Amino acid sequence: MSTIAVTTDNVRPPQDKILQDIANYVHAATAPRLSDLAMATARLCLIDTLGCGIEALKHPACKRLLAPVVPATNVPAGARVPGTSHVLDPVRATFAIGAQIRWLDFNDCWLAAEWGHPSDNLAGLLAVADWMTRTYRQSGTRVVPFARVVRMAEILELMVRAHEIQGLLALDNAFNEVGLDHVVLVKVATASVVARLVGLNRTQIADAVSHAFVDGQALRTYRHAPNTGPRKSWAAGDAAARAVNLVLMVQQGEPGLPSILTAPTWGFYDVLFKHQIFSLQRPFGSYVMENVLFKVSFPAEFHAQTAVEAAVDLHHELQTRRLTVPDHIAAIDIKTQAAGNRIINKTGPLYNYADRDHCIQYMVAVALVSGQLTAENYSDAYATSHEKVLHSLRSKMTCSEEPAFTADYHDPQKRFIANRVTITLTNGEQLTRQIDYPLGHRLRRDQAVPAILDKFERHVRTCFDQDQANAILRTSSAADNLDEIDVDSYMDLYVKQ
């Protein structure tokens, strides 16, 4: 048994630099101005995220997770969960909102050395701001000292900052390579911006972030075969809820851990990050929101977006040639980036929805068969009814990394998320489609925005009656309307009895 060297030096160190940098970035007195592009993109991100959360309510497995722990609980001045009648405490509401907005894996994304979905942080912001505002209206500051009325403009600004914290920490630091799930960054970013929301000072914000780092971190086990399961759809909600709970503890006086990252033997770097230290490519600003990726057409893991788009194009070409799938297909080759190859290259049985929506071969097969990919295509019913043709296509597939795609994926001037799909026909002819930028990439944003707005309207109108849907769309469509409305009033628009 090895012996661990333990220092007896009990001098309290200054807070780790990363903690200070994050605290300075989000603290009101020192926070830099955010770009107009970032704020405009945040408005788009907000409605896309809420729309995906509403659409997820069609899935019973998601809906059952959103209820209060104790049935029929009604929390005074509690936060609302969009598309439901639930009134929950801010921690449970954060979990519920986080679970629903992540369930379909259909909204914004960030890809780098680490990947993830910065919009997951919206769960904590909405839940806490809604609760604070309703509490203030009912009792002023008597019950909750930091209660006040919060407007949506502040939520949008804090969304940009949450995106920036999660995204910049992901640029160079691969948590996946040490087996940790990316939701550790959701916990850190949510703790940062919620700490500012409830009025903590710079030192307390850093304290809250330190607790996010020392808190138990999730393993990536539930995202990979043979353990892929629904937890990947509520893991971010769980991380955001933990962050909110930690912030509220710091607000009540809980001290932080100043050297949580750098402490020898016991710190995050030594215990969980193989003695590496975090690298930041650039100072905190609004880069991530400006360049965030939207999922426009397909509820598919983002590394597969261009593969599905390529497969849809090939489907139409096969139809034009009157060639049938799979009879006229001898082989299918998929070239992807290293990250896509690592995460979603999957052979063998697929056991559930979560298994299928993280399998590039399954997604390409569905697109080749149907010319589309929807959330319903991952269901047990669809997979069972199309098992023969999908199995045939998957058995003909190979998938591997294209090194040039990986290099362009990490190039900050390009940030490709390329895939190439090549079909070899039974007569030996090959059909190839390569797509470098998905529709939700910044370079295709003008093309994507109308589709994102249509997507939001479609999700809203399938959940609410005409009058309620019109009220949501009217308020959400104009910047002034959205920015100036109070959070509780905006959340009320989404209440469904």
pLDDT-derived band at 3 (thresholds 50, 70, 90) equals: very low
Q: Which residue intervals of the chain bear CATH 1.10.4100.10?
A: 17-291
Bigger pLDDT: 479 or 15?
Answer: 15
SS (H, E, C) 320-355: HCCCCCCCCEEEEEEEECHHHHHHHCCCCCCCCHHH
Q: Is 179 helix (H, G, I), strand (E, B) or coil?
A: coil
DSSP string, 20-70: HHHHHHHSTTTPPPPPHHHHHHHHHHHHHHHHHHHHGGG-HHHHTTSS-SS
The reported pLDDT for the residue numbered 74 is: 83
Question: Cα 131–135–141 angle (5° rounding)?
Answer: 125
DSSP 256-292: --TTTTT-TTTSHHHHHSTT-----SS-SSSHHHHH-
Question: Among candidates 321, 339, 63, which has minimal Cα distance to 177?
Answer: 339
pLDDT of 1 above 90: no
Place of tokens 């890809």: 111
401 contacts 336 by C-beta, under 8 angstroms: yes
User: For the segment 306-337, what is each residue's pLDDT rounded down to a tens digit?
Assistant: 999 999 999 999 999 999 999 999 999 999 99
Per-residue pLDDT, averaged over 335-341, amounts to: 95
pLDDT at 6 over 60: no
Express each pLDDT in 247-256 by its tens digit.
Answer: 999 999 999 9
pLDDT tens track for 137-169: 999 999 999 999 999 999 999 999 999 999 999
User: Which class is 17-291 in CATH?
Assistant: mainly alpha
pLDDT digits (tens, 9 = 90+) for 425-450: 999 999 999 999 888 887 777 888 99
Question: What is the Cα–Cα distance from 1 to 351, expressed in whole angstroms?
Answer: 41
Name the DSSP class of 199: T
* Residue ranges of the chain assigned to CATH 3.30.1330.120: 302-438
What pLDDT sits at residue 118? 97
Provide, rounded to the nearest whole percent, the portion of the chain with pLDDT above 90. 84
pLDDT at residue 448, as a whole number: 87
Question: How many helices (H) and strands (E) would you count in the chain?
Answer: 22, 8
For residue 56, what are the contacts with CB-CB under 8 A and spacing of at least 6? 62, 63, 100, 101, 103, 104
Distance (Å) of CA 466 to CA 64, 111, 146: 26, 37, 37
pLDDT digits (tens, 9 = 90+) for 396-429: 999 999 999 999 988 878 888 899 999 999 999 9
pLDDT (0 to 100) of residue 195: 98
Q: According to the model, what pLDDT value does residue 2 have?
A: 43
As a residue count, the chain comes to: 497
pLDDT at 8 over 60: no
Model confidence over 39-51: pLDDT tens digits? Answer: 999 999 999 999 9
Q: What's the rounded Cα separation, in Å, for the pair 161 and 19?
A: 15
| Predicted local distance difference test score (pLDDT) of residue 439 | 84
Based on its alpha-carbon atoms, the radius of gyration of the chain, rounded to whole angstroms, reads 23
DSSP helix/strand/coil, 144: coil
Average pLDDT over residues 268-286: 96
> So what's the pLDDT on residue 383?
96
The answer to whether the CB of 166 falls within 8 A of the CB of 122 is no
CA distances from 93 to 76, 79, 375 (A): 13, 6, 24
Distances (CA, A) of 123 to 38, 62, 254, 296: 19, 15, 23, 21
The domain made up of 302-438 has a fold known as 60s Ribosomal Protein L30; Chain: A; (3.30.1330)
Residue 206 predicted with pLDDT over 70: yes
Would the pLDDT of 235 be above 90?
A: yes
